[in-house]
Amino acid sequence: MSLVRWDPYREMLSLREAMDRLFEESLVPSWARGERPGALGVPIDMWESEGNLMLSASMPGVKPEDVDIRVTGDTLSIRGQVREEEERQRGSVRIQERRYGAFERSVRLPANVNTDAIDATFEDGVLKLKIPQIEEAKAKHVEVKAK
């Protein structure tokens, strides 16, 4: 077992770094961190299943007609608009909530997918994409003949 000298300043430095991160995240504008201002985040899950690339995106409060899916080259882009209003009355209190905003999320697709046959379904605020995979080109062996 070795002894390590205790340095109280090392622990203070880590606290200082944590405070710096806290202030940076709350005070630095989102556009300075590379995020689009006002853009909503869309969580995406992607996995392979039975010869297909599957993608699932959670979009609560979004209507299917407000979602736009585009494929450009090897990039899949999901864009949309959230327009949700809720109004409730509880006794003498009236509650109104509105949620508006645009979102966009882009993902690079692997080379072995058929982007012409994408199947998109939208159910209960979840967008599901099924992208068929194509067989990758197999390497061919070329025999060299001597003359």
Question: Mean per-residue pLDDT for 42-55?
Answer: 90
pLDDT in tens, 97-116: 887 888 888 899 988 888 88
Please name the fold of domain 38-132.
Immunoglobulin-like (2.60.40)
φ/ψ of 117, rounded to 5, equals -120, 40
Domain ranges in the chain? 8-36, 38-132
Report pLDDT for 22.
78
Spatial distance between the Cα atoms of 109 and 122, rounded to a whole number of angstroms: 20
What residue has token string 């979004």?
62
